[in-house]
Chain A
């Protein structure tokens, strides 16, 4: 039990430290919301004085002259209470919660499913490859995916676009999360459109992410298979499948699980480049945009989400290890 309490304490402390950093780091970046807005605003060719922009921003709740400690305390309060304010960047005036609300499902759906799929596939392939070390699967699959996992995201994305989405009658769409002409709803047409628009970006993530899982799982398997208890199991005549999953797999899986918890956490920040290339309006892109336009309220809320997601996943992983690994229990 002490193990769990210690973990929980660690969780709270890390959360506070991360939130404090989240507050100060954007404010130490060069530039300010006013400058970013000025840059954007000059697009239309209109000449707006810096003073006027400050007036506008003040109207939206941004006061650069305010005491930093006071701002910090207010920030902590607003983060905890969920009053995340309005964007002061490119979506000036839009409530942060509704901005995130519109992007979150897409990222969770696309990156989330792709990440889980990559993990499950990679772990399974790695288990089999490690079990049949030197076999046909082990000889071909891991090397291929190790190569693909080293390819840059955006390069794979562009390759897929040029294979499937170019031409006057492309097989798959190259941008957006659904057909712009459709109204979102639970119609077959809309769902099909969402799926179709998700295939290329999801494949990009899958192709580049699966290799890592295969490699670690395979190598863990190989080490685990050399353990005495596996030999013992074989000597006892336990069926191969049971040894593969129940004996070796279960133990080889633990390091992968921690990695998975981390990667789940980063689903929230999305795969920025993938969303960028496919014009997929998820959180990753929003993150990028918020940084560029020094949108403090949006950045803070996004940072909070990422921090929370990573920490919660790590915490859950700790619990899972607690369940899976008897050693964790006895030590506690």
Chain B
């Protein structure tokens, strides 16, 4: 029971991606700077506007593990999953599943400066807030300016980290200026920041304490408004004056607060809830077999990996030969099959998630280094050069989180595989908080861990390898837990921001060559976006063939994309 709730956290840790074959017309994130208003044609799914009749209800079964506090402040990280996408919208939707393809939202267009250190958004005309007031460029400027005045609102560290220096409006154009090339932050400032109405947020408690304001009746531009909220359930109703004509088709969204996976899984299986975002063990029997209308799709996302401690204070794992030996000793297909029931595909040593980011994936380099298949002889040989033998066995321990049953199963396979190479692995199941403490401060030999991704492999790799994300042992690292410090790699990351798309692909390949050469992290499987959907009454879901948004309901603002495209079949009659 306990396991399943923590399990969802892992499941959810990643932002997903799968685009084996994505259609034409996608532009990589921020690459095409066009002043042509025709770029407002939707690259999203569902097609044009108003093609379906309105009506119907969707019930979401997504385990939040808490009752609803009925707050909708988009700047509060604990509750913004219930507000962003539903009520508040970003300037542009960035589709992680289509390598960062953009769909205009509150901005119809954007143009980067040649150095990519400033960007001009054209603000959409004719959009109204749900209280009837017109939406203007002023609201956009206000939203970003408040983040500067109130650092607690600046969740993506735009002013402090990304180097945002000014936000100004002229007519319907909003200009954001940065200290340096800022393209990698486009995903954050254009795609994740929900724009709030100035006329509401500049008065009363919203103005004096914007970070802690509960915002119980949110006013937004989004497809839905909050009709009622109890600790059990949030009811959203369609925003009648939504700017996309005819949308949303579905008129009501019920979002019950599930505390644990079991009841949510039962409700999904019975069709009581139609949209799920969690791990269901034995899903074919438990869910799929219950109804032909029950479907699931798990787009692979970031990596789940063995993270060795690269710090010199760890005599074994700081040795390249030891890390290489571990990487050679693994049979990743077997880990995927036995440990993850095949739900999570096998990963590769380059750290680039395949097939999602195949464009960036240097398959030949992985094969040339011999990491494409298990090689026990090579592993044993490497261990010998590192000074280990049968009489002086290499003993390592790996930390993992108790209750993540699939990780436990995967690690049992890893243990067997490493034993064959002569490494004695001890698995330490730790309570979440102890695990975090050890992982963040670098108090471990090996750790089993996963990171979140982004619209290109850059986002995950930067978290894993950028030295500024690390910290000395004993201090909390923000994401580079392996303590990998390599100035050459840092330089490659720094070049990425201002590079053109082709160069960016080359840079990623160069960065992943260090994954192969230095083995700072050893990916085992690819984490996925958990997603279940019922097609009895509802259609317009994101699918493998039409991945117009990340499909799990915990993704923001993707949830808004899905909700505007869903329609009720019975309402069409």
Interface residues of A (CB under 8 A from B): 29-31, 35-53, 55-56, 58-60, 86-87, 89-94, 99, 102-103, 154, 158, 161, 165-168, 170, 174-178, 180-181, 183-184, 273, 275-281, 285-286, 289, 292, 294
Contact = CB atoms under 8 A, between A and B. Distances in A.
A229 B347 CA distance: 79
A78 B70 CA distance: 25
Given A31-B432, A44-B554, A93-B76, A277 B262 contact: yes
Contact of A279 (B192, B263, B479, B556): B263
A31 B437 CA distance: 6
20 contacts: A29-B433, A36-B433, A50-B478, A51-B157, A56-B211, A59-B150, A90-B64, A91-B69, A93-B76, A93-B212, A93-B214, A102-B231, A103-B67, A181-B254, A183-B230, A184-B230, A276-B260, A279-B260, A279-B264, A281-B231
B9 interface: yes
Interface of B: 1, 9, 12-15, 64-67, 69-71, 73, 76-81, 96, 150-152, 154-157, 160-161, 188, 192, 209, 211-212, 214, 228, 230-233, 254, 256-260, 262-264, 266-267, 270-271, 431-434, 436-437, 440, 452-454, 459, 463, 476, 478-479, 554-556
Given A39-B9, A39-B436, A180 B555 contact: no
Given A93-B78, A93-B214, A276-B1, A30 B434 contact: yes
Contact of A44 (B231, B433, B556): B556
Contacts of B161: 49
Name the residue in A165, A184, A279 with the highest tally of chain B Cβ atoms < 10 Å from its Cβ.
A279
Contacts of B554: 43-44
Contact of B69 (A30, A44, A94): A94
Given A56-B77, A174-B263, A38 B432 contact: no
Contact of B454 (A30, A45, A289): A45
B452 A45 contact: yes
A144 to B, nearest CB: 27
A52 B69 contact: no
A22 to B, nearest CB: 18
Contacts of A58: 152
Contact of A102 (B15, B67, B81, B150): B67
B156 A56 contact: no
A278 to B, nearest CB: 7
Contact of B78 (A40, A49, A292): A40
A43 B71 contact: no
Given A30-B433, A55-B151, A103 B231 contact: yes
A151 to B, nearest CB: 15
A178 B256 CA distance: 11
B288 to A, nearest CB: 16
A187 B87 CA distance: 31
Contacts of B81: 43-44
B1 A277 contact: yes
Most buried by A among B67, B76, B256, B555: B67
Given A49-B157, A51-B160, A178-B232, 15 more contacts: A31-B436, A31-B437, A40-B77, A43-B13, A44-B555, A49-B161, A50-B440, A52-B155, A91-B67, A91-B79, A93-B69, A93-B71, A93-B212, A94-B69, A280-B259
A200 to B, nearest CB: 11
Contacts of A30: 431, 433-434, 437
Main secondary structure of the interface of B (DSSP, over half): loop
A279 B555 CA distance: 23
Given A42-B13, A92-B76, A180-B233, A281 B156 contact: no
Contacts of A42: 13, 452
B77 A39 contact: no
Enumerate the 3 nearest inter-chain pairs by beta-carbon distance, A residue then B residue, closest first: A31-B433, A45-B15, A175-B263
A16 B157 CA distance: 43
Contact of A43 (B9, B231, B256): B9
B232 A52 contact: no
Contacts of A52: 151, 154-157, 160
B93 to A, nearest CB: 14
B254 A180 contact: yes
A176 B256 contact: yes
Contacts of B13: 42-43, 45
Given A39-B432, A90-B65, A175 B152 contact: no
A292 B432 contact: yes
Given A30-B437, A35-B436, A176 B77 contact: no
A292 B260 CA distance: 14
A50 B436 CA distance: 13
Contacts of A281: 67, 231-232, 257, 259
A56 B262 CA distance: 32
A45 B453 contact: yes
B193 to A, nearest CB: 10
Contacts of A286: 67
Nearest to B440: A35
A99 B157 contact: no
A175 B67 contact: no
B375 to A, nearest CB: 34
A42 B301 CA distance: 14
Contact of A91 (B66, B160, B479): B66
A298 to B, nearest CB: 11
A259 B1 CA distance: 29
A176 B255 CA distance: 13
Contacts of B271: 168
